Amino acid sequence: EHPEWFHNFVADPVVVLKVNLAIPLMHLGFIDQARAQMDAALMRGRQRGELMARTIALWCAAMFEMRMQRPDRVAEHAQALCKLVDDHAIGQAQGPSRWVRGWAEAHLGSPQEGLRLILEGFEHNRRGGMLAGDLDGAQAQLDKARDLGERFGERILFMYHYMLQSRIELGRGDI
């Protein structure tokens, strides 16, 4: 059983830790260890049943398999992610669920359908202000994420906040 503070995270920190460990392990050539971490994240997400944990695990597992050039596995994760997103109206994952599915379609022999889905995902995020140079919108979202992280003592994604801040500043020409 976990201490009370553990339950204050937006997403299961164990899932987030495992997916964030899998990608660097893969890039270092530790494929078996990377796959074990990703599989453990997927299993924990399913067992715990938390929407954000399941969404993060599926999304990251799909990206992992993209890097491994395994479109059949990407398609499996994409299908599960799309179902989760549609069943529970997870807005933040609408665009990425389409990109992932599009990548799989393109690599499995349907490049036109794949491109359509990728562009549909991009358009979904553009309409939501997530892309296309909406630096003020990006800053507002990042500020909200930082506030939430501070309120809950969340530190797992702390370094990403700084990377995103630097991208916003670069986009504004603030070198």
pLDDT number for residue 148: 75
The first and second tokens of residue 54, run together, are: 């399941």
Q: Give pLDDT tens digits for 18-73.
A: 998 998 898 899 999 999 999 999 999 999 888 888 999 999 999 899 989 999 99
Which helix (H) or strand (E) covers residue 80, if one does? Answer: helix 71-88
Asked whether residue 156 carries a pLDDT value surpassing 90, the answer given is no
pTM here? 0.68
* Gap between the Cα atoms of 124 and 43, Å rounded: 29
* Gap between the Cα atoms of 6 and 14, Å rounded: 10
- Between residues 170 and 9, which one has the greater pLDDT? 170
Lowest pLDDT segment from 80-94, 108-122, 145-159: 145-159
DSSP letters of 37-78? Answer: HHHHHHHHHHHH--HHHHHHHHHHHHHHHHHTT-HHHHHHHH
pLDDT number for residue 6: 46
